[in-house]
A and B are shown apart, each in its own frame.
Chain A
Amino acid sequence: MNLTIKVWRQDGPSDKGKMVDYKLTDISPDQSFLEMMDVLNNQIIEEGGEPIAFDHDCREGICGMCSMYINGEAHGPGRGVTTCQLHMRSFNDGDTIYVEPWRAKAFPVIKDLVVDRTSFDRIIASGGYVSVNTGAAQDANALPVNKDDADAAFDAATCIGCGACVATCKNSSAMLFVSAKVSQLSLLPQGKVEAHDRVLNMVKQMDEEGFGNCTNTGACEVECPKGISLENIARMNREFMFASLTNK
Chain B
Amino acid sequence: MSLDSKIPEGPIAEKWTNHKNNIKLVNPANKRLIDVIVIGTGLAGGSAAASLAEMGYNVKAFCFQDSPRRAHSIAAQGGINAAKNYQNDGDSTYRLFYDTVKGGDYRSREANVYRLAEVSANIIDQCVAQGVPFAREYGGLLDNRSFGGVQVSRTFYAKGQTGQQLLLGAYSAMERQIGKGKIQMYDRHEMLDLVVVDGKARGIIARNLINGEIERHSAHAVLICSGGYGNVFFLSTNAMGSNATAAWKIHQKGAHFANPCYTQIHPTCIPVSGDYQSKLTLMSESLRNDGRIWVPKKKEDVEAIRSGKLRPREIKEEDRDYYLERRYPSFGNLVPRDVASRAAKERCDAGYGVNQTGEAVFLDFASAIMRYGREAANVQGIHNPDEKTIKKLGDEVIANKYGNLFQMYEKITDDNPYETPMKIYPAVHYTMGGVWVDYNLMTSIPGCYALGEANFSDHGANRLGASALMQGLADGYFVIPYTIGDYLADDIRTGTIPTDTPEFDAAEKAVQERINHFMNNKGSKPVDHFHKRLGKIMWEKCGMARNEKGLKEAIAEIQELRKEFWADVKVPGTANSFNQELEKAGRVADFLELGELMCLDALTRAESCGGHFREESQTDEGEAMRNDKDFTYVAAWEYTGEPSAAKLHKEELKYENIELKQRSYK
A residues adjacent to B (C-beta < 8 A): 11-12, 28, 30-32, 34-35, 38-39, 42, 45-46, 48-51, 53, 55-65, 80-81, 85, 87, 89, 110-111, 114, 116-118, 120-121, 124-126, 128-141, 143-147, 150-151, 153-154, 157-158, 160-161, 184-185, 188, 190-191
Contact B70 A147 (CB under 8 A): no
Given contacts A62-B74, A161-B70, 6 further A-B contacts (CB under 8 A): A30-B273, A58-B239, A111-B578, A124-B69, A129-B175, A133-B54
**Contact present for A65 and B66 (CB under 8 Å):** yes
Which chain B positions have C-beta within 8 A of A146? 140
Which residues of B, 273-291, contact A by the 8 Å Cβ criterion?
273-274, 276-279, 281
Shortest CB distance B462–A (Å): 24
Q: Are B65 and A134 in contact (CB under 8 A)?
A: no
Given contacts A53-B578, A58-B74, A60-B75, contact A38 B176 (CB under 8 A): no
Interface residues of B in 115-162 (CB under 8 A from A): 122, 124-131, 133-142, 158-159, 161
User: In chain B, residues 43-92, which have Cβ atoms closer than 8 Å to a Cβ of chain A?
Assistant: 47, 50-51, 54, 65-70, 72, 74-75, 84, 86
Assuming the contacts A134-B477, A190-B128, asked whether A118 and B187 have C-beta atoms less than 8 A apart, the reply is yes
Residue of A58, A130, A134, A160 with most partner-chain B CB within 10 A: A134
In the complex, are the beta carbons of A141 and B526 less than 8 A apart? no
A35 CA / B275 CA spacing, docked (Å): 10
Asked if B136 and A150 make an inter-chain contact with CB atoms under 8 angstroms apart, the answer reads yes
In the complex, whether B12 has a CB less than 8 A from a CB of chain A is no
Q: Is the CB of A184 within 8 A of B133?
A: yes
Bound: A38/B239 CA distance, A: 15
Q: Could you tell me if A121 and B175 are in contact, using CB atoms closer than 8 angstroms?
A: yes
Interface residues of B in 460-502 (CB under 8 A from A): 477-478, 481
At the interface, yes or no: B350 with Cβ under 8 Å from chain A?
no
Contacts of B66 in A (CB 8 A): 55, 65, 116-118
Residues of B within 8 A of A57 (CB): 65, 70, 72, 239-241
**What's the Cα separation between A133 and B279 when bound, in Å?**
37
> A134 contacts B51, CB within 8 Å?
yes
- Please state if B239 and A63 are interface contacts (CB–CB under 8 Å): yes
CB distance from B455 to the nearest CB of A (A): 20
Nearest chain B residue, comparing its CB with the CB of A85: B411
The 8 closest A-B pairs by CB, nearest first: A144-B140, A137-B129, A129-B172, A125-B179, A154-B133, A137-B125, A134-B51, A125-B175
Q: Name the A residues within 8 Å of B134 (CB-CB).
A: 140, 150
Give complex CA distance A157, B159 in Å: 12
Set of chain A residues within 8 Å of B511, measured between Cβ atoms = none
B185 interfacial by beta-carbon distance below 8 Å: yes
Cβ–Cβ < 8 Å partners of B68 in chain A = 121
Is the Cβ of B481 less than 8 Å from the Cβ of A134? yes
Find out whether the CB atom of B240 lies under 8 angstroms from the CB atom of A130: no
Q: How far is the CB of B175 from chain A (nearest CB, A)?
A: 4
Main secondary structure of the interface of A (DSSP, over half): loop
**Chain A to chain B contacts (Cβ below 8 Å), 8 pairs:** A30-B414, A60-B281, A62-B161, A118-B66, A120-B67, A125-B176, A141-B141, A160-B74
Which listed residue, A35, A140, A153, touches B276 by the CB 8 Å rule? A35
Instruction: Give the CA-CA distance A144 to B143 in the complex, in Å.
Output: 11
B210: chain A residues at CB < 8 Å are 110
Name the A residues within 8 Å of B125 (CB-CB). Answer: 137-140
Residues of B near any A CB (own CB < 8 A): 47, 50-51, 54, 65-70, 72, 74-75, 84, 86, 122, 124-131, 133-142, 158-159, 161, 164-165, 168, 171-173, 175-176, 178-179, 185, 187, 210, 239-241, 273-274, 276-279, 281, 407-408, 411-412, 414, 477-478, 481, 526, 528-529, 570, 572-573, 577-578, 580-581
Nearest to B50 among chain A residues (CB) is: A134
With A and B bound together, what is the CA distance between A92 and B55 in angstroms? Answer: 57
CB neighbours (8 Å) of A126 from chain B are: 179
Question: Contacts A35-B278, A137-B126, A158-B164: A58 and B72 contacting too (C-beta < 8 A)?
Answer: yes
Which of A55, A87, A129, A146 has the most B CB atoms < 10 Å from its CB?
A129
Q: Which residue of B lies closest to A89 (CB)?
A: B414
Alpha-carbon gap, A138 to B74, bound state (A)? 25
Our pick among B70, B133, B159, B529 for the contact of A153 (Cβ within 8 Å) is B133
By beta carbon, the residue of chain B nearest A112 is B578
CB distance from B614 to the nearest CB of A (A): 32
Closest partner residue, chain A, to B580 (CB atom):
A53
- The answer on a CB contact under 8 Å between B278 and A132 is no
Q: B124, B164, B172: which contacts A130 (Cβ < 8 A)? A: B172
Q: Known A12-B577, A50-B573; judge A121-B276 contact (CB<8 A).
A: no
For B175, the chain A residues whose CB sits under 8 A away are 121, 124-125, 128-129
The interface residues of chain B lying within 8 Å CB-to-CB of A42 are 526, 528-529
Check if A140 sits within 8 Å of B124, measured CB to CB.
Answer: yes
CA distance A221 to B240 in the complex (A): 28
B278 to chain A, nearest CB (A): 5
**Nearest A residue to B64 by beta-carbon distance?**
A57
Residues of A within 8 A of B86 (CB): 141
The answer to whether B239 and A59 have CB atoms under 8 Å apart is: yes
User: Measured between alpha carbons, how far is A64 from B578 in the docked complex, in Å?
Assistant: 20
A140–B173 alpha-carbon span in the complex (Å): 18
Q: Is the CB of A161 within 8 A of B128?
A: no
Residues of B within 8 A of A85 (CB): 408, 411-412
A189: nearest chain-B partner, CB-CB: B131
Roughly how many angstroms separate A42 CA and B530 CA in the complex, as a whole number?
13
Complex contact B70–A65 (CB within 8 A)? yes
Q: Are B274 and A30 in contact (CB under 8 A)?
A: yes
Instruction: State the CA gap A146–B65 with chains docked (Å).
Output: 36
Contacts of A56 in B (CB 8 A): 240
**Least distance between A35 CB and chain B CB atoms (Å):** 5
Contact B172 A124 (CB under 8 A): yes
The verdict on A140 contacting B128 (CB below 8 Å), with A12-B577, A121-B175 known, is yes
B67 touches A118 (CB 8 A): yes
**A214 CB, nearest partner CB in chain B, Å:** 23
How far is B125's CA from A191's CA once the two chains are assembled, in angstroms?
A: 14
Query: Which A residues lie within 8 Å of B51 (CB)?
Result: 133-134
**A129 contact set on B, CB distance < 8 A:** 130-131, 172-173, 175-176
Which one of B141, B277, B278, B573 contacts A144 once the chains associate, using CB atoms below 8 Å?
B141
Whether A161 and B69, one on each chain, are in contact in the complex, defined by CB atoms closer than 8 angstroms, is yes
Residue of A nearest to B526 (CB): A45
Is the Cβ of B75 less than 8 Å from the Cβ of A62? yes
Of B133, B140, B161, B273, the most chain A CB neighbours within 10 A belong to: B133
Contacts of B140 in A (CB 8 A): 144-147, 150
Question: Is the Cβ of A59 less than 8 Å from the Cβ of B67?
Answer: no
On chain B, the residues within 8 Å of A154 by CB distance are: 133, 135, 158-159, 165
Say yes or no: A157 contacts B168, CB within 8 Å: yes
Residue of A nearest to B525 (CB): A46
Contact check, B408 vs A51: say whether CB atoms are below 8 A apart: no
**In the complex, chain A residues whose CB is within 8 Å of the CB of B50:** 134
Residues of chain A with a CB closer than 8 A to B281's CB:
59-60
Q: How far is the CA of A110 from the CA of B407 in the complex (A)?
A: 33
Q: Which residues of B contact A87 (CB under 8 A)?
A: 411-412, 414
A43 to chain B, nearest CB (A): 10
A131, chain B: closest CB distance, angstroms: 7
* Chain B residues closer than 8 Å to A89, beta-carbon distance: 414
Known interface pairs A30-B274, A138-B129, A188-B131; A63-B74 also in contact (CB < 8 Å) = yes
Measured CB to CB, the closest approach of chain B to A129, in angstroms, equals 4
B73, chain A: closest CB distance, angstroms: 10
Instruction: Write the chain A residue with the least CB distance to B67.
Output: A121
With a cutoff of 8 Å between Cβ atoms, the chain B residues found around residue A12 in the complex are: 577-578
Chain A residues, CB < 8 A from B414: 30, 87, 89
A17 to chain B minimum Cβ distance, whole angstroms, is 14
- Cα separation A64 to B142 with both chains bound (whole Å): 28
Are A35 and B128 CB-contacts (below 8 A) given A57-B241, A62-B161?
no
**Which of A81, A132, A140 gathers most chain B CB within 10 Å?**
A140
Rounded to whole Å, the gap between the CB of B118 and the closest CB of chain A is 14
A153 lies within 8 A of B131 (CB) = yes
CA distance A56 to B242 in the complex (A): 12
The distance in angstroms between the C-alpha atoms of A59 and B279, with both chains bound, is 8
